[in-house]
């Protein structure tokens, strides 16, 4: 049920918030006005945090917040505040920790009850309209909370004070520091090996999420050491994921996670950040193993991002694609009945596709057993043997079947795509696309990523406010775009550096340095080291849990902000030689050194940063144009290493136009630089070898440089 009279969310920019503007619940946006009203009326706050892609958020909206009876109770006894977790990750992160302390779990929808000052005192996730799933009904919860707030106010205040104290202690990382040790890298590798699911790939059990930073850490270790066990963890995980239902077998790209341990049945929403980080994994796996399968998966991720996640006209990457079209749907857009497949395929195509994707009368979806999730059950070779066909014939039939099924799927009502451009997620997508396009020769995608970065720099940055968290909303411009958080800055610095490496355009290097300087001045903790997720000025005007200073260390769900900031500083140091940047990065890693090992696979980005800190950075500068220079450049790009930087300059006379001064100074004195021949200069920690002219010699030198583990 809804009301024709919109609530305050009619003024919201977020697609998720605007979807609730006709609910009878009198929603408010997060802000000073809502908290002032709560204090004036002396009412507790109901805080609902969700996202446009979140299935159970829509369920709770329909069951509870659109109920006239529940809305009446809410409007009379609470101030209702709705938050889009994608738009306000700062709000979400803190109250997730608070609810986890209360109930032992978090997630979305997040339902939190606050004092008028914004301090949490009770919460949970989804509450059903009637007692169900072992959870009390939402009405009973509302009645109990309202009564407690009126009659046991001292207990409520005491509980909220305790939670705020615990929140401040856990999120500020006090007492968790120590000396940085390179030993953390092998320790994290061992933690990943211990959590590895040998049968199904991935880590731990269901529900199963991807852990891209850990995969990159393991790939780097494998590339350096050749340890077969580590290689097996990576290849098994990436192969099982790519062949599972968690991968969209028709459109490309990955769903958010798998509800089962076999990667078969996903939660069907598709997120920009998952696909950006997995894109890097698959490209890096191709580099490390030479297995063309991983390159093909990467190309399919790029294809999905190009077709559905991109503003091709102006640049930029959209936020997400929903799982469902309505509450009666549960992955219906992405799944198939045998009858649906039969209707669009020839008999031969159906025979091959049914075997390949395990399409049968009974599928994998519990709510509708006739619906099949597409996952790779049989390989081309197995089908060829069982159906007495040649592998070539099977491939042709399978390719034709995929085209027809994809075309038929496009005729179905499509789940909503949130076309909001978030700064942090765009930066991740830009970095991943630049890395992948550069290696795979996808020139169109490389140009699009650069155009997207140009748009981010032009539209997300305001001199008087710094970086904003939103580049643009789907509905157009908004005057109240939230301020940028640490992720926005750290990821943007990394995107600028990836753009610089891909183009040797010093403009991007300068932008990266400028955003890093802002990140340091506005977010760095001068007293304790590391970075806060909110800028130092914002705390003055904060309310509730936002008054808690937080240093993001755990990857959840995107790479952790502090670790990403450390990587950004270390990469800048590798180009500039600025010792202060190195010291700041080391200090950031030391803030968490005492607990890093305990977090294991959930601190993968810290492990990646530790590789940069533990090993001297390796730089290859290829000078020249023509076939010989092309061959050297390809050789320089080929091997994977986390701490490798590859740049290309058209000739020795233009070094100063393409390289930072520190590199120009190191390279300009090398013998043979000005002879006019194509050459590669290999440097470790600003110490360079003599110029290399032959690709085979560069291959050997790189192998030696990157395999060192001292």
| Angle subtended by helix axes 184-195 and 604-614, to nearest 10 | 150
DSSP element (H, E) containing 171: helix 153-171
List 620's β-bridge partners, or say none: 646, 682
Summarised one tens digit per residue, pLDDT across range 233-249 is 999 999 999 999 999 99
Summarised one tens digit per residue, pLDDT across range 584-641 is 999 999 999 999 999 999 999 999 999 999 998 999 999 999 999 999 999 999 999 9
Query: If you compute the radius of gyration of the chain from its CA atoms, what whole number of angstroms results?
Result: 26
Q: Is residue 207 reached through a cis peptide bond, with omega within 30 degrees of 0 on the bond before it?
A: yes
Q: Is residue 236 reached through a cis peptide bond, with omega within 30 degrees of 0 on the bond before it?
A: no
Span 408-413, mean pLDDT? 96
The Cα–Cα gap between 236 and 234 comes to 6
The Cα–Cα gap between 600 and 602 comes to 5
> Is the separation of the CB atoms in 82 and 52 below 8 Å?
no
Nearest to 329 by CA among 299, 355, 276, 368: 368
Instruction: Give the mean pLDDT of the chain.
Output: 94
| Three-state secondary structure of 167-207 | HHHHHCCCCCCCCCCCCHHHHHHHHHHHHECCCCCCECCCC
Residues sharing a CB contact under 8 Å with residue 438, sequence separation 6 or more, in sequence order: 446, 501, 502, 637
The Cα–Cα gap between 513 and 68 comes to 54
Cα angle 89, 95, 98; round to 5: 145
Q: Is residue 569 reached through a cis peptide bond, with omega within 30 degrees of 0 on the bond before it?
A: no
pLDDT recorded at residue 165: 85
Q: How many CA atoms lie within 13 A of 676 on its CB side?
A: 0
pLDDT recorded at residue 57: 94
pLDDT recorded at residue 578: 97
Span 682-696, mean pLDDT? 92
The Cα–Cα gap between 612 and 380 comes to 41
- 245 phi/psi in degrees, rounded to 5: -70, -15
Strands (E) located in 33-86? 45-50, 79-84
- 112 phi/psi in degrees, rounded to 5: -130, 140
Q: Is the pLDDT of residue 1 over 50?
A: no
The pair of structure tokens assigned to 91 is 């709000």
> Is the separation of the CB atoms in 298 and 288 below 8 Å?
no
Q: Is the pLDDT of residue 363 over 50?
A: yes
Instruction: pLDDT band for 369, please (50, 70, 90 cuts).
Output: very high
340 vs 476, more confident: 340
Q: Is the pLDDT of residue 29 over 80?
A: yes
Summarised one tens digit per residue, pLDDT across range 427-482 is 999 999 999 999 999 999 999 999 999 999 999 999 999 999 999 998 766 668 99
Parallel, antiparallel or unpaired: strands 421-422 and 470-472: antiparallel
Q: 3-state DSSP: the chain helix, strand, coil percent, rounded to 5?
A: 55, 10, 35
What proportion of the chain, given as a percentage, has pLDDT over 70?
97
pLDDT recorded at residue 710: 39
Weakest-pLDDT range from 264-273, 393-402, 665-674? 665-674
> Is the separation of the CB atoms in 618 and 645 below 8 Å?
yes
The pair of structure tokens assigned to 477 is 């411009």
Q: Is the pLDDT of residue 347 over 90?
A: yes
Burial class (CB in 10 A: 0-12, 13-18, 19+), 380: buried
> Is the separation of the CB atoms in 270 and 320 below 8 Å?
yes
Instruction: pLDDT band for 708, please (50, 70, 90 cuts).
Output: low
Nearest to 111 by CA among 87, 90, 142: 142
End-to-end Cα separation, the chain, in angstroms: 65
Q: In Å, how far are 184, 194, 554, 593, 620 from 597, measured between CA atoms?
A: 7, 13, 12, 8, 32
Q: Is the pLDDT of residue 538 over 70?
A: yes
DSSP-assigned letters across all residues of 551-618 = ---S-SSSPPHHHHHHHHHHHHHHHH--HHHHHHHHHHHHHTTTTHHHHGGGGHHHHHHHHHHHS--E
| Three-state secondary structure of 347-411 | HHHHHHHHHHHCCCCCCCCCCCCCCECCCCCCCHHHHHHHHCCCHHHHHHHHHHHHHHHHHHHCC
Q: Is the pLDDT of residue 343 over 90?
A: yes
pLDDT recorded at residue 437: 98
pLDDT recorded at residue 540: 63
> Is the separation of the CB atoms in 343 and 353 below 8 Å?
no
User: What is the number of other CB atoms lying within 10 angstroms of the CB of residue 521?
Assistant: 11
User: What is the number of other CB atoms lying within 10 angstroms of the CB of residue 623?
Assistant: 26
Q: Is the pLDDT of residue 413 over 70?
A: yes
- 127 phi/psi in degrees, rounded to 5: -120, 125
Span 504-524, mean pLDDT? 98
Instruction: pLDDT band for 329, please (50, 70, 90 cuts).
Output: confident
């Amino acid at each position: 049920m809804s009301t024709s009279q919109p609530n305050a969310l009619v003024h919201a920019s977020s697609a998720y918030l605007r979807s609730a503007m006709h609910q009878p619940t009198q929603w408010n946006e997060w802000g000073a006005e809502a908290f002032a009203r709560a204090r004036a009326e002396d009412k507790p706050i109901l805080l609902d945090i969700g996202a446009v892609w979140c299935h159970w958020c829509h369920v709770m909206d329909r069951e509870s917040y659109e109920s006239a009876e529940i809305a009446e109770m809410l409007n009379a006894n609470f101030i209702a505040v709705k938050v889009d977790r994608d738009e306000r990750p700062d709000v979400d992160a803190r109250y997730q920790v608070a609810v986890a302390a209360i109930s032992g779990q978090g997630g979305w929808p997040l339902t939190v009850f606050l004092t008028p000052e914004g301090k949490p005192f009770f919460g949970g996730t989804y509450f059903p309209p009637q007692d169900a799933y072992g959870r009390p009904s939402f009405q009973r919860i509302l009645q109990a909370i309202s009564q407690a707030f009126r009659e046991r106010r001292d207990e409520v205040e005491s509980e909220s004070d305790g939670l705020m104290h615990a929140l401040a202690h856990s999120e500020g990382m006090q007492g968790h520091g120590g000396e940085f040790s390179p030993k953390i890298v092998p320790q994290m590798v061992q933690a990943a090996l211990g959590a590895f699911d040998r049968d199904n790939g991935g880590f731990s059990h269901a529900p199963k999420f991807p852990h891209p930073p850990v995969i990159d850490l393991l790939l780097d270790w494998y590339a350096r050491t050749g340890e077969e066990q580590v290689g097996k963890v990576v290849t098994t995980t990436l192969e099982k994921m790519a062949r599972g239902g968690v991968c969209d077998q028709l459109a490309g790209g990955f769903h958010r996670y798998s509800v089962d341990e076999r990667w078969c049945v996903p939660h069907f929403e598709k997120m920009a950040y998952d696909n950006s980080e997995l894109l890097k994994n698959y490209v890096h796996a191709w580099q490390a193993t030479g297995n063309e399968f991983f390159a093909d998966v990467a190309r399919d991720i790029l294809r999905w991002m190009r077709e559905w996640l991109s503003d091709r006209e102006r640049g930029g990457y959209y936020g997400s694609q929903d799982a469902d079209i309505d509450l009666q749907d549960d992955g219906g857009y992405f799944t198939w009945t045998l009858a649906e497949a039969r209707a669009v395929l020839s008999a031969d195509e159906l025979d091959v596709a049914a075997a390949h994707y395990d399409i049968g009368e009974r599928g994998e979806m519990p709510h509708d057993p006739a619906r099949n999730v597409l996952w790779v059950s049989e390989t081309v070779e197995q089908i060829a043997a069982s159906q007495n066909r040649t592998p070539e014939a099977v491939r042709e039939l399978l390719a034709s079947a995929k085209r027809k099924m994809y075309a038929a799927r496009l005729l179905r009502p499509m789940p909503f795509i949130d076309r909001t451009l978030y700064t942090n997620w765009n930066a991740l997508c830009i970095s991943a696309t630049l890395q992948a396009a550069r290696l795979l020769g996808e020139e169109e995608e490389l140009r699009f990523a650069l155009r997207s970065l140009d748009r981010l720099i032009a539209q997300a940055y305001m001199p008087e406010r710094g970086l904003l968290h939103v580049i643009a909303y789907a509905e157009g411009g908004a005057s109240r775009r939230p301020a940028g958080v640490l992720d926005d800055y750290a990821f943007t610095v990394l995107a600028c550096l990836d753009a610089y490496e891909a183009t040797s355009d010093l403009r991007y290097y300068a932008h990266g340095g400028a955003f890093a300087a802002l990140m340091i001045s506005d977010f760095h903790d001068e007293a304790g080291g590391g970075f806060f997720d909110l800028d130092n000025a914002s705390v003055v005007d904060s309310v509730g849990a936002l008054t808690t200073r937080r240093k993001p260390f755990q990857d959840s769900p995107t790479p952790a902000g502090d670790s990403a900031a450390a990587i950004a500083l270390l990469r800048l140091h590798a180009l500039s030689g600025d010792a202060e940047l190195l010291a700041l990065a080391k200090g950031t890693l030391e803030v968490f050194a005492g607990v890093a090992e305990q977090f294991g696979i959930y601190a993968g980005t810290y492990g990646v940063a530790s590789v940069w800190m533990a090993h001297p950075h390796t730089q290859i500068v290829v000078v020249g144009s023509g076939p010989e220079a092309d061959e050297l450049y390809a050789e320089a790009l080929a091997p994977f290493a986390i701490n490798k930087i590859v740049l290309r300059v058209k000739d020795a006379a233009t070094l100063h136009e393409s390289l930072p001064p520190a590199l120009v100074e190191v390279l300009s004195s090398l013998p043979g630089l000005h002879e006019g021949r194509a050459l590669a200069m290999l440097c470790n920690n600003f110490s360079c070898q003599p110029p290399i002219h032959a690709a085979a010699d560069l291959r050997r030198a790189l192998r030696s440089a990157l395999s060192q583990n001292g």
